[in-house]
Each structure stands twice: as structure tokens, then as C-alpha cells.
Amino acid sequence: MKNIKQVVKNAEWQALRRTMEHTWNSEPSAKRNLLKLNRYLGRKPNENKLRRVHNYLAALRGVHYPGIAQMRNEVKRIREM
């Protein structure tokens, strides 16, 4: 398994991540961000995409809008399959 620093270096991921910086401060923007993450993952996400999103959502400590924990748990469940 690759080092997480190598995994998150991906240009597509970094561009998406930048669009979500400082935007988790309201429920509507959190919902938009979760939609972006779902689109990024797509129908059959690869392990690197799952790892990026899981790591990102786990880092959102203190952000408790509906759907965040659910998505984090779903991504974790898929990764464990």
C-alpha cells in the first residue's frame, strides 16, 4: 500500500480538495461538498479514491452536519470488503 502522502498527491484530488477548503461551515455547503465527494468516487471507486475520501472525512473533526459520518462509515465499509 502506498504512503498516504503519495496517494493524496493526485492532481484531480488536490483540485477537488481546494474547492472544499473552508466551506464546511453550513449545512447547505456541507451537502454540496458531500455531493462533490460522491461524484469524485463514481460508481466503482478504486482503492486510492476511497482512501483519499475516507482520510479527508476522518480529518473533519468537529464538523457534524448530517451525512458526513454516514458517508465516512460507508466508505470505510467499502474499503474493508
Domain boundaries, the chain: 27-81
Q: What is the identity of the amino acid at 50?
A: L
Q: Are 33 and 17 in contact (CB under 8 A)?
A: no
Give 8's pLDDT tier (boundaries 50, 70, 90): confident
| 1 band by pLDDT with thresholds 50, 70 and 90 | low
pTM across the whole model: 0.91
Q: In the predicted model, what is the mean pLDDT of the chain?
A: 93
Distance CA 39, CA 60 (A): 19
Nearest to 56 by CA among 32, 21, 6, 11: 21
Measured CA to CA, the distance from residue 58 to residue 72 in angstroms comes to 7
pLDDT in tens, 32-55: 999 999 999 999 999 999 999 999
Q: State the virtual CA torsion across 13, 16, 72, 64 in degrees, nearest 10.
A: 150
